[in-house]
Amino acid sequence: RAQRGVGRDHNPGTQTVLMTGAGIKGKVNSKSVLVGKENFLKESGIVLADELHRKAQDLQNKSQTVIWVAAEN
């Protein structure tokens, strides 16, 4: 299990917008971040690597939930 705040400084996001049923977008350290479903990221212009898409499909086929995260460099 992840431990909140262990080994990292906590910096809350700003300008967050909840996209009901899709995900959330906002800024962390002045950089854009998207978290949500695959289609949400795609519709936001994020190109997903084929390898990641295949891995996500494998996990979903095993009834595991996949949450996508994209962060600005």
What value does the mean pLDDT of the chain take? 85
**Considering only CA atoms, which of 51, 47, 58, 11 is closest in space to residue 31?**
11
Q: What is the pLDDT of residue 29?
A: 85
Between CA 15 and CA 28 the distance in angstroms is 9
Overall average pLDDT of the 53-62 stretch:
95
Overall average pLDDT of the 30-38 stretch:
92
Token pair 């479903």 in the structure block, residue: 37
Q: What is the pLDDT of residue 2?
A: 46
Inter-residue contact 45 to 51 (CB < 8 Å): no
**13 DSSP assignment:** -
Q: What is the pLDDT of residue 8?
A: 58
pLDDT at 1 over 50: no
pLDDT at 72 over 50: yes
pLDDT at 9 over 70: no
Reduced to 3 states (helix: H, G, I; strand: E, B; else coil), residue 67 is coil
Inter-residue contact 41 to 34 (CB < 8 Å): yes
